[in-house]
């Protein structure tokens, strides 16, 4: 039996977007998508340009493209960022001065503000999972024990 690890990509993303210490990932104004400031994300979370001596890597990559690939594999869709949507209500920490850009907007129907219970519905699109979805079958995963409801 495969025991899901609590360190799945969607779970890490959930913890990041809800952390007051992380400034490169934030909810959009409706809490239905997330903004990722690529430049800041690379510095803050991928350690690009920093000497991460002894620091544990959050992601096993320094390549932002690999993060986007993971988002795509987990069913996130990239939305077009309009100048208005990137500033109106989308910076809950009230600071508009830290955008290094480019700004990316991603959406997944099961990634919602205040709804960690929906994370179980986010599955990596493996060949087997794609076949199940195409056949109309449900594909789910388990929340880590400390987030069970």
CATH number for the domain including 132? 1.10.10.10
The pair of three-digit structure tokens given for residue 134, joined into one six-digit string: 């195409």
Residue-wise pLDDT for 22-40, tens only, equals 999 999 999 999 999 999 9
**Number of domain units in the chain:** 1
Q: What is the pLDDT of residue 140?
A: 61
CA distance 47 to 43: 5
Domain of 58 in residue numbering reads as 9-83+100-147
Residue 147 contacts by C-beta under 8 Å, 6 or more apart in sequence? Answer: 6, 116, 119
pLDDT exceeds cutoff 80 at 18? yes
């Amino acid at each position: 039996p495969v025991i899901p690890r609590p360190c799945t990509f969607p779970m890490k993303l959930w913890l990041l977007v809800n952390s007051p210490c992380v400034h490169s990932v934030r909810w959009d104004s409706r809490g239905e998508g997330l903004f990722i400031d690529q430049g800041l994300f690379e510095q803050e979370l991928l350690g690009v340009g920093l000497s991460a001596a002894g620091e544990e890597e959050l992601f096993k990559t320094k390549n932002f493209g690999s993060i986007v690939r993971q988002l795509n594999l987990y069913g996130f869709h990239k939305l077009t960022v309009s100048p208005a949507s990137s500033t109106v209500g989308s910076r809950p920490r009230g600071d508009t001065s830290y955008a290094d850009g480019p700004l990316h907007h991603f959406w997944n129907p099961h990634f919602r503000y205040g709804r960690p219970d929906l994370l179980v519905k986010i599955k990596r699109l493996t060949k087997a999972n794609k076949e199940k979805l195409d056949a109309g079958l449900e594909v789910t995963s388990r929340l880590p024990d400390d987030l069970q409801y």
